[in-house]
Amino acid sequence: GNSVTQMEGPVTLSEEAFLTINCTYTATGYPSLFWYVQYPGEGLQLLLKATKADDKGSNKGFEATYRKETTSFHLEKGSVQVSDSAVYFCALTPYSGAGSYQLTFGKGTKLSVIP
């Protein structure tokens, strides 16, 4: 079956530090890959996505590249801010001719950024 493994947290960084959150996946075919972010007390929001190999998703200074050879989709940001403190989820939806688009999530990584 499909699965997503992401680095366990919590992760605590100082403001302006470099962020990497690792994510690897197992899926057949060519899944679409996502990073969702959950701010305290809120629902999930799409942060970025990539739908095919070598695609790079980017948003709000965050980036992730779809690496099919290593089945990875690591999230990076060059300089984090306090406002980036949140829980980050890596997820995939498999290619499916029927298009049910079910999401499989990793367990989430909590990021805390301190001033």
Partner 1 sequence: NAGVTQTPKFRVLKTGQSMTLLCAQDMNHEYMYWYRQDPGMGLRLIHYSVGEGTTAKGEVPDGYNVSRLKKQNFLLGLESAAPSQTSVYFCASIVGGRRRVSGQETQYFGPGTRLLVL
7: contact with partner 1 by CB under 8 A: no
Which of 55, 59, 94 shows the shortest CA–CA distance to 76?
A: 59
Would you say 42 or 69 has its CB closer to partner 1? 42
Stretch that binds partner 1, among 10-18, 28-36, 60-68, 75-83 (CB under 8 A): 28-36
Give the 3-state secondary structure percentages of the chain, helix then strand then coil, rounded to 5. 5, 50, 45
Q: Are strands 56-59 and 62-65 parallel, antiparallel or unpaired?
A: antiparallel
24: contact with partner 1 by CB under 8 A: no
Q: What is the rounded CA–CA span in Å between residue 40 and residue 30?
A: 32
56: contact with partner 1 by CB under 8 A: no
Q: Which residues bind partner 1 (CB under 8 A)?
A: 32, 34, 36, 42-46, 49, 51, 89, 93, 95-103, 105-108
